[in-house]
Structure 1
Amino acid sequence: MLHSSLPPTQFVLYADDGYDSHVVRLLLEEKRLAYQMRLLHDDRPEELAELNPYLSLPVLVNRDVSLYETNIIFEYLEERHQAYKLLPTTPKERANVRLLAWRLQRDWLALGKTLWTHPDSFDEKKAAHAKKTLSDSLTTLAPLFARHEYFMSDEFGWCDVLLLPLLWRLPKLGVTLPATLCRPLLEYQERGFARQAFKNSLAPAPMLDDDEI
């Protein structure tokens, strides 16, 4: 069920309060695209199955597409909406950023997702290992953040969109970084969290009621 009445640059975001939905909200804010949000929790309405057969969130919809995988959503928006690009200009540079993004998702973000597993399937031993591994890895690589304004780059990009929502959740995950050893990383956090787009991604977006769907 696509929203045929929407303008081409207006989106509806079916989302929860989890990490992946936060990434897409930040992506939309950085691309400066208009959207309304349908906030969902454990219940999945029937219309969601028409948009995403896996019933996972987030799902981004406009009048001619329904997208439900974070990387696909990013690639679509990056190609369709050329302003405020989050990838560099040359093929080699774009490939390097995509590799860095893949490594973030495979390493740090995979550990984060272990820690915010649903309580019904939470494994305390596995979570303790993930917490220590994530903390140790961030601490070890913190000096990298002193080299550039943003993650491995002087320009804000796709890797930052992936990383900042994870860093925002570290206190809730019980991960505390040593201030002295992690100063470059903590300063990076402050710069990222101060961006207007990030602040907007934390604020409630315009909500859709059931009768507006």
Structure 2
Amino acid sequence: MAIITNKRSVMTLYSGAVDILSHRVRIVLAEKGVSYEVINIESRGKTEDLLELNPYGNVPTLVDRELALYEPNIIAEYLDERFPHPPLMPVYPVARAKARLIIYRFDREWGPLIRKLETGKINDSRAAAKELTSYLLQLVPAFNASPYFLGEEFTLVDCCIAPVLWRLPAWGITLPPAETKVVNKYADRLFQRDSFQASLTEAEQELRKSAKAETA
């Protein structure tokens, strides 16, 4: 739900430096080439300002003039409509509905597993890693079928998947060699986009570097 707040002159994103949902929104903002201010909540704690904007006090929260939004998929679609070029959703209603359903399934099926992986509890993390690996293996044919998940164009679906793939080494998730080759080819295509590189925080860059160093 959006709320009315004091008008701000610059679009503002309340974000977590390694928060995976914040990362999703940062990719969308970078794809659109939007200038915005970032307020890192993890380093400052929940502020009264954020709680006034978002009753849940969580990130990401986007403020655009009088509007405050605090659900990542609503934020992403709002940005896609507010800044129509380049488009990040299919044009036709059926394809748009399918894209929304894919994102919904990712959030519903992957979300709880990711939260367990990020808690760092060994037993929970091992089970979650195994289950997430199973989901990723199911998607290998889709990763191999076209440059991006829905076809030739980069979409909001790819914005959802990219932060997950970026964090796999940090979660200790590895795939069988044949599947790794396919997933890495798709992942590298996402990671090499200017928007993805621009979306990364220093903490997210370090997250992957540290994980690779440990496995080297």
Does the alignment reach a TM-score above 0.5?
yes
Residues 55 and 5 of structure 1: is their aligned pair in 2 closer, same or farther, counting only changes over 3 Å? closer
Of 71, 75, 82, 1:69 maps to 71
Long gaps (5+) in structure 1: 205-213
**What is the aligned-residue RMSD (CA, Å)?**
1.8
Change (3 A) 1:98 1:80: same
Residue 110 of structure 1, aligned match among 81, 92, 112: 112
Aligned to 1:143: 141
Shift of 1:182: 2.7
Pick which of 160-169 and 124-133 moved more: 124-133
Aligned to 1:84: 86
For residue 134 of structure 1, give the secondary structure of its aligned residue in structure 2: helix
**What are structure 2's unaligned runs of at least 5 residues?**
203-216
Distance 1:138 1:126 in 2: 18
User: What residue identity is the alignment partner of 1:164?
Assistant: A
For the Cα contact (< 8 Å) 2:8–2:66, is it kept in 1?
no
The amino acid that maps onto 2:162 is L
Aligned to 1:152: 150
Q: Which has the higher helix share?
A: 2
In the alignment, is the contact (CA less than 8 A) between 1:143 and 1:182 conserved in 2? Answer: no
Instruction: Give 1:173's match in structure 2, choosing from 158, 171, 174.
Output: 171
What's the counterpart of residue 191 of structure 2?
193
Q: Note if 1:182 corresponds to 2:180.
A: yes
TM-score (norm 2): 0.84
Query: Kindly, what percent of the aligned residue pairs are identical?
Result: 38
Residue in 1 that maps onto 2:13 = 13
**1:202 is matched with which residue?**
200
Hey, what's the Cα distance between the residues in 2 that align with 1:107 and 1:174?
19
2:178 alignment partner, SS class: coil
Counterpart position of 1:207: none
CA shift at 1:116, angstroms? 0.9
Q: May I ask how many residue pairs the two structures share in their alignment? A: 197
- How many Å apart are 1:3 and its aligned residue? 5.5
Cα gap change, 1:141 to 1:76, in 2 (>3 Å): closer
**Equivalence for 1:4:** 7
Q: CA deviation at 1:109?
A: 3.6
Residue 2 of structure 1: CA displacement? 4.1
